[in-house]
Amino acid sequence: DRDNEPGGIVVVGLGRFGGHLAGALIRLDHEVLAIDRNADLVQRWSDQLDRVAQADATDEDTLRQLGVAEFRRAVVAIGASVEASVLTVLALVELGVPQVWARATSAKHAKILASVGAHHVIFPEAETGEHVAHLIVTRMLNF
Ligand code: ATP
């Protein structure tokens, strides 16, 4: 229900990044609908998540059938395949999901994500690298 914030969040891709993200959202008491095309991963996550679906998220009709259009927020956590990531963002935007977050692995990937309508683009590897650099420098100053 779109009027029901905080409400549920769709997470596409249960790799290392998407898996940790989904787990953290659950611990923050959010309902998560997770989608991954890998049946083993879906099986592995099925006890922890309220809803996990095995599906190809690039397909708009499949997403509609899963009820994704009712969600206000979605995160595309696919990294390795730029094509799958871009097509999934496009499908979510076409469905009218108002807040689409997408993971980029390069500056060009980020540009494409923004041009197909992603509302927020995130760079987990770059952000973590920067964060750890700051941690190390701070510790060198303090200890
Ligand atoms: P991570 O670094 O988070 O482990 P990765 O870059 O190694 O991710 P990816 O190939 O980006 O791995 O895939 C992340 C997850 O997204 C995988 O579990 C994969 O099965 C899933 N995935 C990839 N393409 C699709 C798709 N079209 N539909 C649904 N899930 C997908």
* Predicted-complex ipTM score: 0.95
Is the pLDDT assigned to residue 61 strictly greater than 50?
yes
Going by C-beta distance under 8 Å and a sequence separation of 6 or more, which residues neighbour residue 28?
none
- In this prediction, residue 63 carries a pLDDT of 98
Residue bearing the CA closest to ligand 1, atom 20 = 38
**Probe ligand 1: pick from 52, 78, 128, max atoms within 8 Å of CB?**
78
Q: How far is the CA of 75 from the centre of ligand 1 (A)?
A: 12
Is the pLDDT assigned to residue 47 strictly greater than 50?
yes
CA distance 37 to 56: 5
| CA distances to 35, 95, 124 from 116, in Å | 20, 13, 20
CA distance 124 to 131: 10
pTM score, two decimals? Answer: 0.92
